């Protein structure tokens, strides 16, 4: 697949990418007690890793279903974690 095609796919899913990266950063920030520039570095690294994995999945189409499945599982875990936090906040007032 041409680089232009990969770029177009990434841009079509830009909002989804932002949501997953933001959720991952928030998750690790809270779990590891991070703050300041370490959070900025974390978001940078997460963005590079996710974009790299996504790009490689287009270079090697055989792994694309596994990458898509991994992102689905990752997203489901983040959503479940977020709902758990929301339920705890509602319960605790």
What pLDDT, in 10s, does the model give residues 42-66? Answer: 999 998 998 888 888 888 889 988 9
| Residue 9 or 43, more confident | 43
The predicted pLDDT at position 92 comes to 83
**Pick from 46, 29, 27: nearest CA to 85:** 27
| HEC sequence for 10-60 | HHHCHHHHHHHHHHHHHHHHHHHCCCCHHHHHHHHHHHHHHHHHHHHHHHC
CB atoms within 10 A of CB 1: 13
- 38 pLDDT tier (thresholds 50, 70, 90): very high
Domain that holds residue 84: 3-92
Q: How many domains, in total, are found in the chain? A: 1
Q: What distances in angstroms separate CA 43 from CA 16, 21, 64, one per listed residue?
A: 15, 7, 24
Torsion region of 60: left, alpha or beta (phi above 0 gives left; psi -120 to 50 gives alpha): beta
**Pick from 43, 63, 65, 51: nearest CA to 9:** 51
């Amino acid at each position: 697949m041409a680089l232009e095609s990969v770029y177009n796919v990434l841009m079509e899913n830009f909002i989804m990418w932002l949501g997953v990266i933001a959720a991952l950063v928030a998750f690790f920030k809270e779990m590891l007690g991070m703050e300041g520039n370490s959070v900025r570095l974390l978001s940078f690294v997460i963005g590079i890793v996710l974009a790299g994995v996504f790009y490689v999945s287009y270079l090697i189409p055989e792994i694309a279903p596994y990458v898509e499945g991994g992102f689905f599982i990752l997203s489901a875990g983040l959503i479940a974690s977020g709902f758990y936090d929301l339920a705890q906040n509602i319960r605790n007032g």
